[in-house]
Amino acid sequence: MTVNELVPSRTTRRDALLAGCTVLSAVLAGCLGDDEDDADDETGDAADGDNGSESDDETDGPESLVGVPEGTLADGVDLSNPWAVEETLVDQLDLTFGQIRTRVGTDVVEVYDDVSESDFVEALEAADVGTDEVEVRAGVTDETLDVILDVVETRLDETDVDASVAKHEERPAVVLDGHEAEADRVEDLLEPLRVELVAGYPDPDADEPVMETVVTQDDIAQVSTAQRANGESPAPHVPIQLSEEAAEQYATVMAESSFTTDGVEQCSFDSSDQPDADEYCLYTRFDGELIHGASMGPSLATVIENSEFVENPSFVLQTQDFETAQRLELALRGGQLPTELHLETNDK
The topology (CATH level 3) of 72-138 is Alpha-Beta Plaits (3.30.70)
Residues 8-45: pLDDT tens digits?
444 333 333 333 333 323 333 333 344 444 444 443 44
pLDDT digits (tens, 9 = 90+) for 229-261: 888 778 888 888 998 889 999 999 999 999 999
Q: Tens of pLDDT along 257-287?
A: 999 999 999 998 877 778 999 999 988 887 7
Q: So what's the pLDDT on residue 222?
A: 82
Q: What is the mean pLDDT of residues 197-210?
A: 93
The arithmetic mean of pLDDT across residues 60-75, rounded, is: 81
Architecture of domain 193-334: 2-Layer Sandwich (3.30)
Q: What is the pLDDT of residue 259?
A: 96
Average pLDDT over the chain reads 78
Contacts of 281 (CB under 8 A, 6+ apart): 9, 199, 200, 201, 209, 266, 267, 269, 275, 293, 294, 295
* Domain assignments of the chain as residue spans, ordered by start: 72-138, 193-334
Mean pLDDT to the nearest integer, 135-161: 85
Query: pTM for this one?
Result: 0.53
